[in-house]
Chain A
Amino acid sequence: MQAYSTTRSPAQKIVSIFKSFDLTFYIGLLLVLLLVVFGALGQFFIDQRDIRLGASSFSSPPSAEHLFGTDALGRDLLTLLILATPTTLNIGVVTAVIATSIGTFLGLVTGYFRGPLETGIRTLIDIMIAIPALLILVSIASFLPSSNTVIAVILAIFAWPFTARPVRAQVLSLRERAFVKLSKLSKRSDFEIIFFDMLPNITPFIAAGFVSTVSNAILAAVGLQLLGIGPIDEPSIGLVLQEAFFASAVFRELWWWWIPPMIMLSMIFIGLFLISLSLDRIARH
Chain B
Amino acid sequence: MRTPANGTRNLLQSADDRDTILSLNDLHVEYASATGTIHAVRGVNLDIRRGERFGIAGESGSGKTTLVNAILRLLPETAQISAGSIHFNDIDLSRLDNRSLNFLRWSRIALIPQGSMSSLNPVMKVGHQIAEVIKTHEGKRYNKDVRDRIERILESVGLDGRVLNLYPHELSGGMKQRVCIAMAITLEPELIIADEPTSSLDVVVQRQVAKTLIDVQERLGASIILIGHDMALLAQTAHRIAIMNEGELVEIDNVREIYHRPRHRYTQMLINSLPSLEHREERDIPPVARADGGATPLLDAQAVTKVFGYKGHLFAKSTEFTALDEVSIEVTGDFPMVTTIAGESGSGKSTFANIVLGFAKPSGGAVYYRGKDIARQSRSEFAQYRREVQAIFQDPYEIFNPVYTVDSLFRVAVKKFKLARGNDETMALIEEALRVVNLSPEQVFGKYPDELSGGQRQRLMVARAYLLKPKLIVADEPVSMVDASLRLMILDLMKSLRDELGTSFVYITHDLATAYQISDQIIILNRGKIVERGTPEEVIKNPQHPYSQSLIQAIPSPNPDIKW
Contacts and interface: CB of A to CB of B under 8 A. Distances in A.
Interface of A: 2-8, 177-179, 181-188, 197, 200-201
Contacts of B427: 2, 6
Contacts of B365: none
B357 interface: yes
Contact of B386 (A6, A8, A185, A200): A185
A178 B417 CA distance: 20
State the 10 A-B residue pairs at the shortest beta-carbon distance, nearest first. A178-B393, A200-B403, A177-B398, A187-B416, A186-B413, A178-B399, A179-B401, A186-B412, A178-B398, A187-B386
Given A2-B427, A3-B442, A185 B391 contact: yes
A181 B359 contact: yes
Contacts of A186: 412-413, 416-417
18 contacts: A4-B442, A4-B445, A4-B446, A178-B394, A179-B399, A181-B357, A181-B359, A181-B391, A182-B391, A182-B393, A182-B399, A184-B357, A185-B389, A185-B390, A186-B416, A186-B417, A187-B387, A201-B401
A178 B396 CA distance: 9
A197 B413 contact: no
Nearest to B424: A2
A8 B390 CA distance: 29
B409 interface: yes
Interface residues of B, number: 32
Interface of B is mostly: loop
Contacts of B399: 178-179, 182
Given A4-B446, A179-B401, A187 B391 contact: no
B124 interface: no
B269 interface: no
A6 B413 contact: no
A181 B393 contact: yes
A89 B398 CA distance: 41
- The winner among A177, A178, A184, A197 for most chain B CB atoms within 10 A is A178
A177 B407 CA distance: 18
- The winner among A2, A177, A182, A183 for most chain B CB atoms within 10 A is A182
Contacts of A177: 398
B474 to A, nearest CB: 9
B417 A187 contact: yes
Nearest to B382: A187
B294 interface: no
- The winner among B387, B401, B409 for most chain A CB atoms within 10 A is B401
A185 B390 CA distance: 6
Given A178-B398, A200-B403, A201-B402, A184 B359 contact: yes
B393 A6 contact: no
B47 interface: no
Contacts of B454: none
B441 interface: yes
A6 B359 CA distance: 31
B399 to A, nearest CB: 4
B395 interface: yes
B400 interface: yes
A25 B484 CA distance: 46
Interface in B325-368: 357-359
Contacts of B442: 3-4
Contact of A187 (B383, B398, B400, B445): B383
Contacts of B393: 178, 181-182
Contacts of B400: 179
Contacts of A188: 412, 416
Given A178-B395, A185-B357, A185-B386, A5 B417 contact: no
Contacts of A4: 441-442, 445-446
Nearest to B465: A185
A236 B401 CA distance: 45
A189 to B, nearest CB: 9
Nearest to B444: A4
Contacts of B398: 177-179
Nearest to B423: A6
Contacts of A179: 398-401
A3 B427 CA distance: 13
Contacts of B405: 6-7
A6 B407 contact: yes
Contacts of A6: 405, 407, 427, 445-446
Given A5-B445, A5-B446, A186-B413, 16 more contacts: A2-B441, A4-B446, A8-B446, A178-B395, A179-B400, A181-B357, A181-B359, A181-B391, A183-B412, A184-B358, A184-B359, A185-B391, A186-B416, A186-B417, A187-B416, A187-B417
A283 to B, nearest CB: 12
B462 to A, nearest CB: 13
Nearest to A182: B399
B564 to A, nearest CB: 34
A6 B408 CA distance: 9
A5 B399 CA distance: 22
Given A3-B442, A4-B445, A201-B402, A182 B409 contact: yes
B408 to A, nearest CB: 9
Contacts of A200: 401, 403-404
Contacts of A8: 446
Nearest to B353: A181
